[in-house]
Structures are given as structure tokens and as C-alpha cells.
Structure 1
Amino acid sequence: MDGKLTIGELAELFDVSTDTLRYYEKAGILSSHKNDDNGYRYYTYEEIIVLMDILFFRGMKLSIKDIKQIITKMGIADIKKLLYQNQRVVEDRIQELIKLQKTITQVVSHYEQCEQHVGKFSIVPAPDFKYKLLGKQADNLVAIIRKYKKENWDWLDSIRYTLLIPQEDFLKNPNFSSAQAAISIDKENLYMLDLAEQQELASLPEAEYLYTIVQTDYFEQDNDALGKALEYLKEEGRRVSGPMIGRYMASSHKDGLDFYEIWIATNSH
């Protein structure tokens, strides 16, 4: 080898492409020599050491700009400061990924619940969330987004889009045509709202509730699942004693369907 490597030999040694080595040269962070006899590039021991540092710092996700500063201008103290700044960036990214993992886990859970509970009925206690009625569904979606949006999209799964159907309307027409828009939020997420907004929220009355998950395209004359819910209550010797409230869970855009988990206040005859 006589202390020299061609560009192909250097690329093979470090498992990088020759284009990458040329890019590093163009960026001014790696040098090469030219063989006077054949015009080919070659690299000496010094360039190999520099390339090892380049790859080391690239492995820490430092930019080419920062690496150029390290190689051409920075002493130990400045390099340490730069690495410390990068460490803080990485720590912030880790927290973002943890938050993203939590969100994905929660959304996957929603889809699993939709698969497992559509059309299945159970009697449960009052749900542990608070809600605020806003008005007609179509007129308020944009207003909800404008009022409650945050700097990121995490709020979409914390401040849940919610529908409420008054008891009389629900008994007359068990579908979503008379649904009114609302927002709801679990009690552990109330901190996302200021105190005045928190005071505008109401809890569902303490009672027993029929719980299920239904799908809707909002246009059906009768929602099959809601009709079956009323039949289930009748068979169980129960009657509806309050509005139906539903929280958005997921969408199947291919089918034009939205999924809601719903609660219907009920008591025995």
C-alpha cells in the first residue's frame, strides 16, 4: 500500500461511497493528493485520520458545516461546547420521540377498540371526562379548531371532538342527524385549558351508561348500532334517561365512516 490509498480503496475500507468522499472534499473537510503519473486521487495516513473523525462526528448527526468548523478552526474547548449543544438537541429530540411514541400508542389503542367493541354493549359507570356543548355540528368544527388548536397537533387527541344528541331527538331518530358539536377532555388533561375555559366544562351525571362504539357516515336515516342499543336497553329492562354523547375515535376514509365511542345514560324501569 506504501502508505497511500486510492479513492476506491478508502471507500471500501470505511464502507462509504466514492461520491461521499468527493462530497467531503468539495465541502472542504477532506483533502486528497493527485498522482502525477496517472492523475488519480490518493489519500495518506493524515487524511485517513481526518476521515475517521468526519465519520465519527457524522455518526453523532453533526452537520457538515459544524464538522468543517471542528476540523479547520476549533480547539478542544470549542469542540466540547459544540458537542454539548448537540447533546441538548438530541435530548429534546428524545423527548419528542417519547411523546410521539405515546401518541401513536394511544391512537393504535383507539383503532383496536374500534375493532373489538363495534356493536358490543356493556353497562358502565359515568365516564371520567368533562365536556362543553358548542352547537350545530357542521357550523362548529372550524370554530373548534381555531379556538382550541395548539402549537403542535397533540391537542387533537387530548381535546376530543364530541357529539351530543338530546334524549328526545335520540329516541325519535336514533341517528346523527340532530347531533350537536361539543369538545371533551379527560380530567388529567384539563391543564391544557386556562381556568376560565375549565369552568365552562360539565361532567356527565353520575348514573349507569350503556357503552358501545358505533360507525356513521352522518347521513343514514337510522344508525343500525344505535337502534340495536335501544333494543338492548329494552331487553335489559332499562330506559334512556339522558342524552347520547359520543367521542370521536377514528376514521375509515375509504369507507366514508367515522367511529365514535358512545355513552347513553340509563336506569331501570
Structure 2
Amino acid sequence: MNEKWTIGEVAKLFDVSTDTLRYYEKSGILSAQKNSENGYRYYSYDEVVVLMDILFFRNMELSVKDIKKIITEMDIGDIKNVLYQNQRIVENRIQELTKLKNMITQAAYQYKLCEERLGEFLIVSAPVFKFKLIGTQAEDLITLIRKYKKEDWIDDRIRYTLLVPQAELMGSPNFSSAQVGISIDEENLYLLDGAEQQELSSLQGMNYLYTIAGTNYSEQENDVLNKALDYLKKQGRQVNGPLIGRYMASSHKDGLDYYEVWIATNP
């Protein structure tokens, strides 16, 4: 019976590199016997069993440092505690990855919606989100970023929002002088403290023209907004309030930001 195996044989058996085996040896978690004549490494049955445990724990992403303690110092109770600790780390990672997945799913949906609904018009009831306006200058955007520069802003639970007053919309339909602020869906109001919730406004309970428009903020007239006003006119409707836009997506290649847009109209 073969009682020892070369480093190459062991590496092939466990589908690991010889460099990995040498690293384990250097780290003090795996021993190897060396032939004094040729310098080759050999592994005994006991060392192969130890390697099986090393690979078992590495597959659970335990660190080499922890594995060394498991092999050289710990009883089963200590090992159990290390595994529980690693379980908590994995659970936290699962939560983070789930959150990341949800962010990606939401962002992809918004880009898809921009692609499919750009310039399409619907008459809808009032959306249920609430909003707060800050101002019209670039400094106000910086204020927003500083205040909401946290995960809630990034994962789109708090949305960058624009308001174009009715008079300006009718005079020259564009986004160049829009007031800036935030909006938040009702289910996410808990993210704001009570005082800030009191500062929020809701859209009036009337009909709205809904569409998606892209803007570079500097155009004299926005093509989609012009078409939206024409659509309302053909439908026998009048603009009856401001435009509210919620940020959806950006195309830096085209220099455009895209917004969901609601324009208040009479019944």
C-alpha cells in the first residue's frame, strides 16, 4: 500500500495547485515530508486527512488564520463558535447581495421604461408619492446631495425631483429653470424624521398626463413636452397645474437625463 504521495499527486487528487499546498505548508497548517536526497515533498495518509479538513473549511471561506487555530488549538466547541461567526458573516453578505440585486433590478426596470415609454402619453390619476422642493440653483442640488448622500438616495428610495410651474411650462416648455427637490413613496416615509415628513407635499387629486422625457436642461423647448401640450389640446384638455418630474435614468453618451413626468390637467 502506498503510504506517501508526491506534491504533484496530491495536487491532482484534490484539484489544487502545488503553490497552494506550499502556501499551506508555509502558513503552518499542513506538514510535508521532504526527501533529503532530491528535496521532493511527500504527504502521508495523516497529512492528506488534514488537507481534507483544510479544504473543507476553506470551501466555507474560513481564513487560513482561523483554520490554523482550528487545527492546532480548538476543540469542537471552539470550532462550532467559529462556524457560527462565519454563518453570521455570510448572512450579512446575503442581505447585502439581496439589496444589490434589488437595486440592479429597479435600475434596469427604469432604463427599460425610459426606452419603451419615451414620448408616449397616458392620462392617469394622481401618483401617491410625496415631495419637497429646495430651490432652483446648482447650489441647491449640492445641498440635496450632502443631505441625502447615503444608501437611501443611492438605491432610489429617495428620488431626485423637478417641478416646472404652470406659467413657465406654458410659456416655454423646458426644464432649464425647474425647481429641484426630492420625492419619496409613502411606504418609505419612515426614512425621514417626523419634522421632515411634515414638510412634504402631495399632488392634488386630479388627472395627470403621464410620459417620460429626456432633457439636457439647456434646450429652449423640450420636444416631448411640446408634444405633450399638443396631445392635451387635441384631447380637449387644459394644463391645470405644474409639471412634476422624477429622475429615472441617464445617458451620458447623449447628454440626457430622463424623467417620469406628470402634468396636471382638467378632467
Say yes or no: TM over 0.5.
yes
Report the Cα offset of residue 155 of structure 1: 4.7
Alpha-carbon contact 1:137-1:179 (below 8 Å) kept:
no
Structure 2 distance, partners of 1:167, 1:88, is 54
Corresponding residue for residue 254 of structure 2 = 255
Does residue 90 (structure 1) correspond to residue 90 (structure 2)? The answer is yes
Q: Which moved more, 1:135-144 or 1:163-172?
A: 135-144
Amino acid at match of 2:240: S
Does residue 157 (structure 1) correspond to residue 156 (structure 2)? The answer is yes
Does residue 53 (structure 1) correspond to residue 67 (structure 2)? The answer is no
Instruction: Tell me the TM-score normalized by structure 2.
Output: 0.97
Structure 2 distance, partners of 1:55, 1:107, is 39
Alpha-carbon contact 2:161-2:245 (below 8 Å) kept:
yes
Corresponding residue for residue 174 of structure 2 = 175
**Percent identity over the alignment?**
67
Structure 2 distance, partners of 1:96, 1:39, is 48
Does residue 195 (structure 1) correspond to residue 185 (structure 2)? The answer is no
CA deviation string 1:91-135 (max 9, x = no partner): 111111111111111111101111110010000000110000110
List 4+ stretches of structure 1 deviating above 4 A.
Answer: 153-156
Corresponding residue for residue 237 of structure 1 = 236
CA deviation string 1:207-238 (max 9, x = no partner): 00000000111111111001000000000000
Number of residue-to-residue matches in the alignment? 267
Report the Cα offset of residue 36 of structure 1: 2.2
Report the Cα offset of residue 148 of structure 1: 2.1
Alpha-carbon contact 1:103-1:154 (below 8 Å) kept:
no
RMSD (CA atoms) = 1.2
Alpha-carbon contact 1:6-1:41 (below 8 Å) kept:
yes
Structure 1 distance, partners of 2:85, 2:116, is 47
Unmatched segments (≥5 aa) in structure 1 = none
Does residue 24 (structure 1) correspond to residue 20 (structure 2)? The answer is no
Instruction: Tell me the TM-score normalized by structure 1.
Output: 0.96
Alpha-carbon contact 1:34-1:42 (below 8 Å) kept:
yes
Secondary structure of the equivalent of 2:132? strand
Corresponding residue for residue 3 of structure 2 = 3
Unmatched segments (≥5 aa) in structure 2 = none
Report the Cα offset of residue 141 of structure 1: 1.3
